[in-house]
Amino acid sequence: MSTKILTQHFNEPKLHELATYRKLGGYKGLEKALKMKPAEIAAEVAKSNLRGLGGAGFPVGGKWSTMPPADKAPERYVVANYDESEPGCFKDRVLGERAPHQIIEGLLIAAHAVSAEWAFIFIRGEYGIPFKILEKAIAEADEAGLTGKVRVRLMRGAGAYICGLDTALLETMEGKKAWPRQPPPFPTVVGLMGQPTVVNNVETLAMLPHIIVNGGDWFAKLGVLPNPEKKLPGSGGTAVYSVSGDVEKPGVYEFAMGAPLRAIIDAAGGVRGGRKVKAVIPGGASTPPLSASELDTPMDFDSLRSVGSFLGAGGVIVLDETRDMSEVAHNIERFLAHESCGQCTPCREGSEWTTRILGRMLEGKGTSGDLPNLQRIGENITGKVICALGDTVGMVTRGFMKKFPDDFKSKVPA
């Protein structure tokens, strides 16, 4: 059974309009939050065990607490990350199209919680429809006096996957080439235009109104509670999954943290044409795959880590038994090579080299050195680059080779 927070009213036809959203309880969270002290909001969010849903899963309360105090650094910003470019992810798109006010309300609560008077939404350039819907929703909220003293601005990206990475996003917002910065300092200390800045994913932000209305404890209990013995932080609330690939009903499905992967696939109508699952990419193209034997894995940040993958941004890509994993790896590496920002050498050169080796193997021109080289190149990239995109470049092929070695061995001379 799926637990719905963000998508509970998605059947409501005019949910994107302010009147409908308010009728269903919208902006009650903001109203309550405005009566609270910033520290109280932050405490509630910390209690909720909300973790970042943009990919990294960083505890939200923890991130906010690293901001310097408002009296020391009065100029500060909140940025909603709406760049959603991870292949296999489209949940942010749907969240914005269907319930834009939920995002705006969350953004305003976050602004209040960190005492910021400027709030930005950075949306990927290709998201034309969500852009228009959000633009209108912001105007509505402004007109209704809901934004208060917070100025909400929408900024459109120019189309690069790397712009979704928080520090690259800040660079591109400043009008520069989107080359990731190398923290420390982290954006909460030195962010947009050098000022303390909180960057959160739009889905993460959309959770805030519900946490404020229902309480942090309620949210934490919906998900997976922390396990101090195993030093696991747990994951509060729900996650909205983008389910795609070889399923009958691709789409967006919300589940409580810790729901088994199998339940999500079932909700999407199961594997297309009654075929068998071969592999599932659980969190978007940059997360290592799980095999058919791992379908009972609970979907939450800690559980996926324990099986060598990541919850990422919840982009579940189901691959059936007809798929060749070396083709899938090639496809993803080609994407990453195309999207590598090119700043650091191992990622820039390694992504391209890996892609070309895989491409040559798929053309039937594999050589005996290819598999050891792919393995070695991957090891030489991950952990030796500036940002997580590069780490991924080195992980993808190795991840597929480890779980599906036959698909690779068949492309090189025995």
Ligand X SMILES: Cc1cc2nc3c(=O)[nH]c(=O)nc-3n(C[C@H](O)[C@H](O)[C@H](O)COP(=O)(O)O)c2cc1C
Q: How deeply is 89 buried, as exposed, middle or buried, from its count of CB atoms within 10 A (0-12, 13-18, 19+)?
A: buried
Tell whether residue 334 is a contact of another protein (CB under 8 A): no
How far, in Å, CA of 341 to CA of 390, rounded?
9
Tell whether residue 316 is a contact of another protein (CB under 8 A): no
Tell whether residue 349 is a contact of another protein (CB under 8 A): yes
CA angle, 170 as apex, 393 and 52 as ends, to 5°? 65
**Can you name the residues that pair with 151 across neighbouring β-strands?**
118
Among 240, 387, 395, 396, binds ligand SF4 (CB under 6 A): 387
From residue 147 to residue 186, what is the string marking binding to ligand SF4 with x (rule CB under 6 A)?
A: ---------------x-----------------x------
How far, in Å, CA of 404 to CA of 409, rounded?
9
Closest CA to 96 of 170, 7, 31: 7
Tell whether residue 322 is a contact of another protein (CB under 8 A): no
Tell whether residue 374 is a contact of another protein (CB under 8 A): no
- Binding positions for ligand SF4, 322-341, rule CB under 6 A: 340-341
Among 343, 354, 382, 397, binds ligand SF4 (CB under 6 A): 343
| 238-245 and 251-256 beta bridge pairing | antiparallel
Per CB under 6 A, the segment of 55-63, 66-74, 99-107, 326-334 that binds ligand X is 55-63
Binding partner selected for residue 201 from ligand X, ligand SF4, another protein, none, CB under the kind-specific 5 to 8 Å limit: ligand X
Tell whether residue 87 is a contact of ligand SF4 (CB under 6 A): no
Tell me the number of residues near ligand X by CB under 6 A. Answer: 23
Cα distances (angstroms) measured from residue 286 to each of 55, 121, 203, 313: 10, 24, 19, 10
Closest CA to 307 of 320, 319, 293, 317: 293
162 vs 264, which CB is nearer to another protein? 162
322 vs 345, which CB is nearer to another protein? 345
Tell whether residue 338 is a contact of another protein (CB under 8 A): yes
Tell me the number of residues near another protein by CB under 8 A. Answer: 33
Radius of gyration of the chain (CA): 21
Phi and psi angles of residue 237, each rounded to the nearest 5 degrees, phi first: 70, -140
**Can you name the residues that pair with 271 across neighbouring β-strands?**
247
**SS3 call for 200:** strand
Among 55, 223, 298, 390, binds ligand SF4 (CB under 6 A): 390
Tell whether residue 347 is a contact of ligand SF4 (CB under 6 A): yes
- Binding positions for ligand X, 305-344, rule CB under 6 A: none
End-to-end CA distance of the chain: 47
The pair of structure tokens assigned to 235 is 């994951």
Tell whether residue 341 is a contact of another protein (CB under 8 A): yes
**Can you name the residues that pair with 59 across neighbouring β-strands?**
51
Tell whether residue 353 is a contact of another protein (CB under 8 A): yes
Among 9, 22, 156, 356, binds another protein (CB under 8 A): 356
Type of residue found at 100: P
What does the chain come to in residues?
414
Per CB under 8 A, the segment of 41-49, 96-104, 226-234, 367-375 that binds another protein is 367-375
The site for ligand X (CB under 6 A) is made up of 52-56, 58, 81, 83-86, 161-162, 164-166, 199-201, 204, 387-389
